[in-house]
Amino acid sequence: MNTLFFIALQAEGGNAFMNFLPLLAIIVIFWLFMIRPQMKRQKELKNFRDSLKKGDKIVTTGGIYGKVAEIQEHAIIMEIEGGVKLKIDKAAVIKDMTDAAPAK
């Protein structure tokens, strides 16, 4: 940061602020189009995972479809077809499949 400041002071003509204006504009644009939307998606996913309840249909990051059988502090007991129960981490849940159309 100090190096950039000294380079700006040594620049001939113009204001030091005007030299940093393009850099500031790039940072603001990067934040608006990259960081902010990602933070919004993470917040929505966290809210989804916190609102899960027994009987909800879910999909894991590995592609396993099932229903929530039990919710623990950091894990979910998920029931898959055939009555098999799996203990998975809450972070592995990515989707809610209750709105998905049933397969024909």
What is the per-residue pLDDT across 49-80, written as a single tens digit (0 to 9) for each? 889 999 999 999 888 999 999 999 899 999 99
pLDDT in tens, 37-54: 989 988 988 999 889 999
Q: Decide: pTM greater than 0.85.
A: no
User: Is residue 103, in this structure, part of any structural domain at all?
Assistant: no
* Cα separation, 21 vs 28, whole angstroms: 11
In tens, the pLDDT along 86-99 reads 999 999 998 766 55
Look at strands 93-96 and 57-60 and give their pairing: antiparallel
- Is 102 part of any domain? no
Do residues 58 and 43 share a domain? no
Output DSSP code: residue 72.
-
Q: Are residue 38 and residue 10 in the same domain, yes or no?
A: yes
Residue count of the chain, please give it. Answer: 104
The total number of structural domains in the chain stands at: 2
Examine the fold and report which residue of 13, 28, 47 is the final residue of a domain before the chain moves on. 47
Residue 85: predicted pLDDT: 96
Q: Which residues on adjacent β-strands are paired with residue 95?
A: 59
Residue 104 in domain: no
Domain shared by 72 and 38, yes or no:
no
In a shared domain, residues 9 and 40: yes
Mean pLDDT of the chain, nearest integer: 82
Backbone angles phi, psi at 93, to 5 degrees: -85, 130
* Structure tokens belonging to residue 8: 């700006």
